Amino acid sequence: MDSQRSQAEPGHPPLAALAVQPLLNRDYESRPAAFYERLRAEYGPVAPVDVLGVPAWLVIGYSQTLDILRDTRGIWSRRVDAWRAYREGAVPADWPMLPVVESGNSGFQDGADSTRLRGAWGEGLRPFQDRSRTEAKALELAVRRYADELITVLAESGGRTGWADLSAQYARPLPLMVIGRLLGEGADGDDELIIDLWRVMDAGPDAREASERLTARVAGVCEARAKNPGADLPSYMLAAVPDLTTDELTREMAMMTGLVGDVTGTLICNTITEVLIGETGTRDSLSAGMIQEAINRASAANPPMANLAFRWAKADVRVGRFQIAAGDPVLVSPAAAHLDPAFTRTSSPDSIYSSRAHLAWGAGPHACLGRDLATTVTTIAVERLFERFSALRLALPADQLPWRSSPLMRGLRSLPVTYELADGPPEPPARPPAADEEPEPPSDGGPNSLARRVLRMMRLSQP
């Protein structure tokens, strides 16, 4: 551990006065390894960067990232009011990341506030993540059906062989369909909610209005659950922490829509991409039937959350070669940490970190609580895809794939492939539904199936 509390003379100018490199640049998007290597050579495990006009420390060393995430000495705050520049009004009002850091959800709380909200999450997600529970079994069957419907619809235009965008036609709509299920009765058939989410995620010209409508709809669902609980995530969270206000629950559900809709969709897409490129061991793991290992390898190569949205130092602290001042913003970067030679040496026999030691789910007091759910959705999505197609190939050279330009996310804008369908209709579910589960409708994507409705709304399917 080389970060230690210190009041020593910093010996270098403060963050705001350092010549900061823009985080978003062409290499960051298309050749991140080259960008992080350059930063590592110049600055060591922590580098001053410019995040859309705001200076911040980017933590790129594996052990420094892990130390900060674990935060055993309570040095790091997730509360935006710990940010000196923010308190002083020095953060531009139109800084694009303000809505994220001001969202006030559990991601931006400390101490007892964080523990309370995490308690609600843990209990609320349990029925969906404990595979012995009815809700979890029903969700797995539903995800499988959604996957089959989407595959059926995307393959319709081309016959046995064809071209598809697996991001827009598969990886992104699939988790959108899961959101309605988690929100429960009423929301599961609410097409407008799904399409507004899509508009928000696409950050198009109508994103702001869509976001307002989405929040209002989610608030409506939360209010209804407080009066009439059901077998859904908001109701279970309320049951665990009854004094959760509708506002708090709405903030958490808004966060959930991003985590399921965007982040899980990105993991699905990144895993498929790594299988198709075939360079990171993801394909070998999948071929060997080790889907968890395949997801770990894809998560190490391209963690969906490349950088974790801001922490602030509560006290002056030395990390790497720099003295981070109290109130400075820090972005820890799992993407860069995974390229640290200390981590990439993992395949050597004397390695101290296994491939499971990747940081794509975070670590410590803020570690992901929805990991099992996201892994289940991704597992089913990836398995069904490679079961139903006998051949899938990238339609672009790997180095020309269009990566999103985002300070936080690592994902593709589109994943163009050519495909060949396997013989025969989709197999029935691996096991028949148990007595306490709803029977599932057929997986053929009937004319008014959710898959077709979602794709139509995304204008990816014929009316």
Q: Which of 61, 362, 411, 416 binds ligand HEM (CB under 6 A)?
A: 362
Q: Is 335 in the site for ligand HEM (CB under 6 A)?
A: no
Using DSSP's 3-state secondary structure scheme, residue 51 falls into strand
Q: Which of 246, 361, 429, 456 binds ligand HEM (CB under 6 A)?
A: 361
Nearer to ligand HEM among residue 378 and residue 449 (C-beta): 378
Residues 6+ apart with CB under 8 A from 17: none
> Site residues for ligand HEM, window 237-296 (CB under 6 A)?
256, 259-260, 263-264, 267
CB of 260 to ligand HEM, least distance (A): 5
Distance CA 163, CA 296 (A): 28
CB of 77 to ligand HEM, least distance (A): 12
Give the pairing type, strands 322-324 and 416-421. Answer: unpaired
Which one-letter amino acid corresponds to residue 410?
A: R
Q: Which stretch binds ligand HEM (CB under 6 A): 57-65, 132-140, 157-165, 359-367?
A: 359-367
Nearer to ligand HEM among residue 152 and residue 355 (C-beta): 355
Tokens of 206: 């109508």
Q: Which of 183, 210, 337, 373 binds ligand HEM (CB under 6 A)?
A: 373
Longest dimension (CA), the chain: 71
Distance CA 299, CA 324 (A): 29
The count of chain residues that interact with ligand HEM, using the rule CB under 6 A, is: 25
Distance CA 52, CA 95 (A): 7
Give the pairing type, strands 329-332 and 54-59. Answer: parallel
Q: Which stretch binds ligand HEM (CB under 6 A): 3-11, 79-87, 313-321, 360-368?
A: 360-368
Burial class (CB in 10 A: 0-12, 13-18, 19+), 346: middle
Nearer to ligand HEM among residue 49 and residue 260 (C-beta): 260
Using DSSP's 3-state secondary structure scheme, residue 369 falls into coil
One DSSP character per residue, 383-427 reads HHHHHHEEEEEESS-GGG--B---SSB--BS--EEEEEEPSSSPP
Q: Which of 298, 360, 381, 401 binds ligand HEM (CB under 6 A)?
A: 360
CB of 353 to ligand HEM, least distance (A): 17
Residues in contact with ligand HEM, shown as a per-residue x/- string from 96 to 125 under the rule CB under 6 A: ----------xx------x---x--x----
Name the residue number minimizing CB distance to ligand HEM.
Answer: 370
Q: Which of 61, 173, 234, 304 binds ligand HEM (CB under 6 A)?
A: 304
Of 318, 311, 339, 232, nearest in space to 10 by CA: 318
Q: Which of 368, 383, 402, 414 binds ligand HEM (CB under 6 A)?
A: 368
> Site residues for ligand HEM, window 394-423 (CB under 6 A)?
none
Query: How many CA atoms, within 13 angstroms, populate the side-chain half-sphere of residue 292?
Result: 5
Residues 6+ apart with CB under 8 A from 3: 64, 67, 68, 75, 317, 318, 319, 320
Residues of the shown chain interacting with ligand HEM in the complex, contacts defined by CB under 6 A: 69, 106-107, 114, 118, 121, 256, 259-260, 263-264, 267, 304-305, 308, 360-362, 366-370, 373-374
